[in-house]
Structure 1
Amino acid sequence: MCTPKVSVTMPCYNCESTVGEAIESILGQTCSNLELVAVDDGSADGTAEVLREYAANDPRLKPLFLEHQGVVGAANAAIDAAEGKYIARMDADDIALPERIEKQVELLDVDPETGLTACRVGFGGNREQNGGYAHYVDWINTLIEAEEISLNRFVEFPFANPSIMMRKDLIAEHGPFRDGDFPEDYELILRWLESGVKMRKVDEELLIWNDPPDRLSRNHPKYNVDAFYRIKSEYLFRWLQKHIGPEPKVGIIGSGRTSRKRYQILENMGVDTAFYVDVDPRKVGMLIHGKKVIHRTEIPAAGETFLLSYVASWGARDEIAEFLDGRGYVMGRDYLLVA
C-alpha cells in the first residue's frame, strides 16, 4: 500500500455496537487514498474483535490496541501512528458521509493558508429531548469562514470535533491534544487560533454527529460548563491583553449571578471592570462590587470601552449583537460574545 494522503484517526472505547458503521463510512469514502488508524483504548467489550475483523478485509484499516488511558492518549497515539499529510478526526459512534474526506482534502489543497478545516454536520439525536445540543449544532453550522470561526471562538467550541481535518506538520509546530481538567478539543482550537492558524469549514453537511446518552461530553467533568469557562477564560485573557492592553478594562453585558460567576474567572486574572450592562430595571443603578449597572442605552460610544457579553441564551445573544452593531460597534474591535 502506498503512503496515504489522509490518516483518519478514531479513538475507540466500548463501542462494538457502533464502530462497524463508523468504519464502513470511512472505508467507503470517495477519496480512497486514506488510512483509518483506529485505537482500541482498552475496551472491555468486543470492540477489539470488530477492529480485527475489518482490518483482515481492508488493509487501509490500521488498528492499535492500548491499555485504557482515555481519549486524549488514544487520539494522540493515533496521530503518532498516522502516515498521512492530513490528519482527520473521527468518532466511533458517528457517520462520515461519502464525500467528507474528498471535500475537506480539496479545501486544504486549494487553500494552503488554511491549516485546519471541518464541515457542517447533521444532528443525529432527538431534537425534542436534547434541544440544547441541537441548538448548538445549528449554531456551529453557521460558522463557516475563518473570521466567523475566530471571532466566535470564545462563545463555545466552534466545531464538531469528529469533523476536523488538519495538516500534520502543524501538529509538530503547535502541539497535539493536551490532557487536563479541560476539553482537549476546545483547548487545541484555542491554542492554534492564538498561534495564528487559519481555520475554515467546507460549507456542506458531511458528517452525522450522533448524540448517544453515554457520549463522553455528557458525562465527564472535563467537559462540563465550568471546565469550558476555565479554559476559554485563560485564552480570552491573553486575547484581551493583546488587543486592548496589558491591563484590560471592560464593560460586562449581563449582571445576573451566572454571568458574574463566569466573568469572575477573568476578573481574578486581572481584568478590570468599567461597568455592568443590563436591561432589567430592577438592576439598573445598582452597584456590584463598586461598579455601576447601566442600561444598555447608556453604553458609551464605540471605541471607548470594550464590551464582553456574558448573556448566554441563544436568542438574546443574537439580539445583543444586532443592538451593538446598530450602535456602531464592531465585533472583535469593540466587543465579543463570550457566552
Structure 2
Amino acid sequence: MVVNPALKAPQVSILMPFKNSSRYLGECLSSICSQNFDSWELLAIDDHSSDTSPAIFTEWAEQDSRIRVFPNRGSGIIPALKTAYSLSRGKLITRMDSDDRMAAGRLREMATQLEASGSGHIALGLVEYFSHRGISNGYARYERWLNNLTLLGSNFKEIYKECVIPSPCWMVYRQDLDACGAFAPDRYPEDYDLCFRFYAKGLTCLPSSRVLHYWRDYDERTSRTSEHYAQNYFLDLKLDYFLKLDRDASRPLVIWGAGYKGKHLARTLVEKGLHFRWLCDNPKKIGKSIYGMRLSHFKVLKTVEAPQSLITVANEASQAQIRNFLFNSCMGSEKDTFFFC
C-alpha cells in the first residue's frame, strides 16, 4: 500500500526508535501495516544500527510512504524519541518498540477511545509478554499486575511500585504530551519519568479489557542490558517524584524495610538532610544504626501521629501484613502509604 503523506496529515503518529533489531522487524512492521486503521505515520529513528535494520526499513518505506525513516540526531532512546516527535504530524501520539508486535485493531481502538473521551486522557491496552524460551515468573507477575490496573484504569494508584504505563502501548493527544513536557527531560528510565509527568498533570487512564500489545522478552533487550534501567535509577526517580508530588512536609516520614531499597532511600534522605523514622521487623537490625539512623520495630508507628509511609518490603505476604497493620491503625489511605516495590 503506497500512501502519499503530502495529501493529508495523519491522525496518529507512531514513534519508534530502533537499533540492531533486524531479526524482529518483519513481524513488527507487518503488525503495523496490517492495522484496520489507515491514518497513521511511523517515525522510525535509527539509533546508529550496525546490522541490516536501516536497509530493511528502507525497503518497507519504499512500499508504504507512511513509514518514514531518519537517523537519530543524538545517541540513545531519548534523543531518538525527540527526533521522532519533532518530525511527527499527527494529533494523536503513540509509541512502539521495533522488536514487538501490535495486536490487530490496536490503533483504531485507541484512537476511537481518545476521540470519544477528549483531551486529558491516556488510551491504554492490556499487554502480553512472549519469548522463545518462555516468560519468567517476574515478568509474568508484572504483566498480571499491570493488566489488572489497566482493566480498571486505576494505573496511577500504584505508581510508586513500578512503571504503570506500558512504554510501547499508550496513546495521548499531542497537546497533552506537550503539556507534560513530551520527551524534553533527559532522564532515564524515560518511560517511567514520562509516566510520572502524566500523573502530575492529572491525565486520566482509560480502562481497557483487550490485549493490544505483544511485548517481546530476550537477553539483548535494552531494559536488561542498559545501565539506565538499573534499580537505583528507578528508586531515585520514585523518591524525587514522591518528594515533589505527594510528600506532605507537615507529617512525619517513615521508611519500612532495611534491605537494598530501604537502605538506598534512607541514605538518599540522609544526604538530602530530610528526617525520617526507619522501621523493620528483623531482630538482627532492630536497635542498630545505619547512616546514623536507628532502626525500630514497626509497632512504634502507633506512637507516630499521621505519618506518611514508604514501603520497601518486597515479599508479598509481608506486604499484605503491612497493609493490614496500617488499615487497622487507620493509616492505610492513598496519601498515607506508598509502596515502592
TM-score by length of 1: 0.88
Give the match's secondary structure for 1:177: coil
Q: Return the match for 1:328 from 320, 327, 330.
A: 330
Per the alignment, in what secondary structure is the counterpart of residue 103 of structure 1?
Answer: helix
Q: Is the 8 A contact 1:7 1:87 kept in 2?
A: yes
Aligned to 1:295: 298
Query: Is the CA contact (8 Å cut-off) linking 2:16 and 2:96 kept in structure 1?
Result: yes
Given that 2:31 and 2:101 are in contact with CA atoms closer than 8 Å, whether structure 1 keeps it comes out as yes
Q: Give yes or no for the alignment of 1:57 onto 2:63.
A: yes
Q: Which residue of 2 aligns with 1:196?
A: 202
Q: Is the CA contact (8 Å cut-off) linking 1:119 and 1:163 kept in structure 2?
A: yes
Question: Of 220, 224, 228, which residue of structure 2 is paired with 1:218?
Answer: 224
Large movers: runs of 4+ above 6 Å: 126-129
Alignment coverage as a number of residue pairs: 334
Greater shift in the superposed pair: 229-238 or 147-156: 147-156
Write the distance in 2 (CA, Å) between the matches of 1:101 and 1:228: 30
Partner amino acid for 1:276?
Answer: W
Indicate conservation of the 8 Å contact 2:16/2:98, yes or no: yes
Does structure 2 retain, via aligned residues, the 8 Å contact 1:8–1:88? yes
Which residue, out of 251, 254, 258, partners 1:251? 254
Pair 1:254–1:199, CA change in 2 (3 A): same
- The alignment status of 1:32 with 2:32, answered yes or no, reads no
Amino acid aligned to 1:94: D
Q: Tell me the equivalent position of 1:337.
A: 339
Q: Tell me, in whole angstroms, the C-alpha distance in 2 between the residues paired with 1:309 and 1:153.
A: 13
Tell me, yes or no, if structure 1 residue 280 matches structure 2 residue 282: yes
Tell me how far apart the structure 2 counterparts of residues 186 and 73 of structure 1 sit (CA, whole Å): 16
Q: Does the CA contact (< 8 Å) of 2:306 and 2:331 recur in 1? A: no
The one of 252, 265, 271 equivalent to 2:274 is: 271
| Structure 2 runs not aligned, ≥5 long | 1-6
Task: Indicate the percent of aligned positions where both proteins have the same amino acid.
Answer: 25
Determine if contact 1:55/1:62 at 8 Å carries over to the other structure.
yes
> 1:255–1:293: 8 Å Cα contact kept in structure 2?
no
Question: Paired residue for 1:10?
Answer: 16
| Within-5 A mapping of 1:75-114 | 75-112=81-118, 114=120
In structure 1, C-alpha distance between the alignment counterparts of 2:315 and 2:184, rounded to whole Å:
30
Q: Which stretch has the larger CA shift, 313-322 or 88-97? A: 313-322
In the TM superposition, residue 183 of structure 1 has moved relative to its aligned partner by 0.8
1:123/1:147 Cα in 2 relative to 1: closer, same or farther (>3 Å)?
closer
SS in 1 for 2:148: coil
SS across alignment from 1:142: helix
Q: 1:334 to 1:223 in 2, by over 3 A?
A: same
What are structure 1's unaligned runs of at least 5 residues? none
In the alignment, structure 1 residue 182 sits paired with structure 2 residue 185: no
Q: Structure 2 vs 1, CA of residues 182 and 263 (structure 1 numbering), >3 Å: closer, same or farther?
A: farther
Rounded to whole Å, the distance in 2 between the matches of 1:106 and 1:129 is 32
8 Å contact from structure 2 (residues 310, 338) kept in 1: yes
- Shifted more, 163-172 versus 113-122: the winner is 113-122
Q: Secondary structure at the residue paired with 1:158?
A: coil
1:204-230 deviation line (CA, Å, top 9, x unaligned):
211111111111111111111011111
Partner deviation per Cα, 1:287-319 (whole Å, 9 max, x = no partner): 5535451234x5328962221111123443344
SS of the equivalent of 1:235 reads: helix
Which stretch shows the higher mean deviation, 189-198 or 80-89? 189-198
2:142 paired with 1:132: no
